[in-house]
């Protein structure tokens, strides 16, 4: 199955956000949800069919224009499934966030069912002055089954410079993925990238420094990273506290203008416990 | 090409401070995830397929064209979310350059403290080695340091640990070949395999008051 979906958000000129484009095909169906008065637009992805199944080629393009705010969720986890022999299933997501725009991408997890073969490609481009919150959770197999094969390939660029480049491979064909360097027997992993100049502290506040009480992000927060020539370590005013966030999680200032939180858990609940508090909507309405 | 030069570059006795780093093993031992040879095997395979592949590709790329050092360095920054790991990599890069300057005539680099794979590639280039040889040295280095640390931290039988390294040698060659084939690719297209527990472990490790290894 081939399917594509597109969401284009732009400012309505009255302090709100309108959706200039909102189209999709099963299994990628974007639906506007939430109140229209909040200033930003909220979109939920609804799965219109099973899958992705092996051989599927799915694409989602997101664009947030200058001054607009878009928040995207999905109504349920997506389940990568095996299918007839063929190429891996593939989901390509591209997102472009303009100056003064905000994109919050907070979908439900991807579950790698036993026997699946799935590739998730993410390309995000944020202009200088744009704000991004990008969450990806992965669960390695349904309850009690071995993990299928998933390869995630993510690039997030900020102001024309690559901020975050990450690949993660789990399941058959990924050497050592369940060893102690990668997931160590954990069946769920989550990643949250926050980037931008004006991300309010509240956006990732409530950092649960649990498990490391008395060590307020010590040793990691505020330690300057030696800048690379031509890549000033700009730091981002108002970005969240960094440090350790529970025994199997960390909140890390990246070399560029952003913060990455990552958590590994025996199951998705442990990942959510570490990352959900960092995703709460800012106290100030957008 | 000189095999003796390659052995010299990959030798753990190179005075570049590598012995001070466990390659992320110390925190995983503390977390109870590595207790024996079997779990060390899983750790090393994962490390080789992630950080090993990335290091090998960037060392090969720097060896192939030292003029790309600055963009390769930025590419490693984008692949290393953990500030503790960025510091560890740059500290090792700096120490490696110091040793390398005494050994060969190094090209000048844009940074005195490049990431370790960039420094390794620059040394390999100055020593007349090829990108695939730089990749082999890098891939081997990512597991041999951790293996040595395992002997010290867990008191494992050194013969059993070296038997494991011997079993991993073909995988090391495979990873190095894979990395070297891509050495001319644009930086964004080079391998970026990440290892979440290495990042998380490094951040926790950096908060410890007492530790045997620097990273």
CA distance B69 to B81: 19
- Pick the residue of A178, A179, A193, A254 with the most B CBs within 10 A to test the interface with B by mutation: A179
What counts of helices (H) and strands (E) characterise chain A? 1, 18
**Ordered structural domains, chain B, with CATH:** 3-7+20-205 (1.10.4190)
Torsion of CA A71, A183, B179, A82, to 10 degrees: -70
Q: With an 8 Å Cβ cutoff, is A155 touching chain B?
A: yes
Cβ A15 vs Cβ A69: under 8 Å: no
Q: What is the model's pLDDT at position B39? A: 98
Q: What is the model's pLDDT at position A204? A: 40
* Crossing angle (nearest 10°) for helices B116-126 and B3-10: 150
Cβ A245 vs Cβ A263: under 8 Å: yes
Torsion of CA A198, A256, A155, B115, to 10 degrees: -170
Reading the block at residue B139, the tokens are: 């891939």
For tokens 């007839």, what's the residue? A84
Task: Give residue A238's pLDDT band: very low, low, confident or very high (50, 70, 90).
Answer: very low
Compare all CA atoms of chain A with the CA of B23 and give the residue at the minimum distance. A181
pLDDT digits (tens, 9 = 90+) for B31-41: 999 999 999 99
- Facing A180 at nearest CB: one of B43, B90, B171: B43
- Facing A250 at nearest CB: one of B24, B191, B203: B203
Cβ A15 vs Cβ A39: under 8 Å: yes
Reading the block at residue A91, the tokens are: 């989901």
Cβ A73 vs Cβ A103: under 8 Å: no
| pLDDT at residue A205 is higher than 50 | no
pLDDT digits (tens, 9 = 90+) for B136-175: 999 999 999 999 999 999 999 999 999 999 999 999 999 9
Q: How many CA atoms lie within 13 A of A119 on its CB side?
A: 13
């Amino acid at each position: 199955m081939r399917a594509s979906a597109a969401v284009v958000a732009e400012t309505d000129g009255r302090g709100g956000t309108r959706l200039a484009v909102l189209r999709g095909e099963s299994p990628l169906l974007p639906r506007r949800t939430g109140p229209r008065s909040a200033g930003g637009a909220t979109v939920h992805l609804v799965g219109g069919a099973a899958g992705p199944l092996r051989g599927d080629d799915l694409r989602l393009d997101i664009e947030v224009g200058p001054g607009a705010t878009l928040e995207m969720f999905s109504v349920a986890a997506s389940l990568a499934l095996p299918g007839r022999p063929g190429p891996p299933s593939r989901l390509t997501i591209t997102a472009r966030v303009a100056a003064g725009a905000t994109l919050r991408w907070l979908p439900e997890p991807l579950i790698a069912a036993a026997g699946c073969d799935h590739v998730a490609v993410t390309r995000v481009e944020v202009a200088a002055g744009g704000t991004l919150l990008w969450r990806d959770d992965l669960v390695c197999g349904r309850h009690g089954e071995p993990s299928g094969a998933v390869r995630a390939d993510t690039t997030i660029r900020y102001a024309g410079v690559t901020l975050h480049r990450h690949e993660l491979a789990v399941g058959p064909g990924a050497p050592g993925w369940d060893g102690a360097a990668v997931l160590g027997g954990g069946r769920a992993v989550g990643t949250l990238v926050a980037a931008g100049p004006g991300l309010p502290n509240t956006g990732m506040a409530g950092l649960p420094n649990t498990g490391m009480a008395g060590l307020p992000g010590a040793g990691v927060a505020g330690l300057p990273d030696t800048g690379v020539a031509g890549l000033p370590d700009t730091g981002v005013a108002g970005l969240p506290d960094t440090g350790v966030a529970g025994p199997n999680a960390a909140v890390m200032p990246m070399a560029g203008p952003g913060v990455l939180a990552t958590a590994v858990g025996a199951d998705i609940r442990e990942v959510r416990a570490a990352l959900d508090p960092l995703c709460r909507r800012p106290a100030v309405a957008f | 090409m000189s095999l003796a030069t390659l052995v010299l570059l990959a030798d753990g006795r190179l005075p570049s401070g590598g012995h001070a780093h466990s390659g992320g093993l110390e925190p995983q031992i503390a977390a109870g995830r590595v207790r024996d040879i079997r779990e060390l095997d899983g750790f090393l395979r994962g490390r080789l397929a992630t950080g090993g592949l990335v290091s090998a590709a960037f060392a090969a790329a720097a060896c192939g064209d030292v003029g790309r050092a600055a963009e390769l360095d930025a590419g490693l920054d984008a692949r290393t979310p953990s500030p503790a790991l960025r510091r560890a990599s740059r500290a090792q890069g700096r120490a490696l350059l110091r040793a390398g300057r005494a050994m060969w005539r190094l090209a000048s680099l844009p940074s005195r403290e490049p990431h370790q794979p960039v420094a390794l590639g620059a040394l390999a280039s100055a020593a007349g080695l090829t990108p695939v040889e730089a990749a082999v040295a890098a891939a081997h280095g990512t597991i041999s340091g951790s293996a040595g640390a395992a002997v010290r931290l867990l008191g494992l039988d050194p013969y059993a640990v070296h038997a494991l390294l011997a079993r991993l040698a073909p995988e090391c060659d495979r990873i190095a070949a894979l990395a070297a084939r891509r050495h001319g690719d644009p930086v964004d297209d080079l391998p970026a395999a990440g290892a979440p527990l290495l990042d998380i472990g490094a951040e926790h490790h950096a908060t410890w008051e007492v530790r045997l290894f620097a990273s």
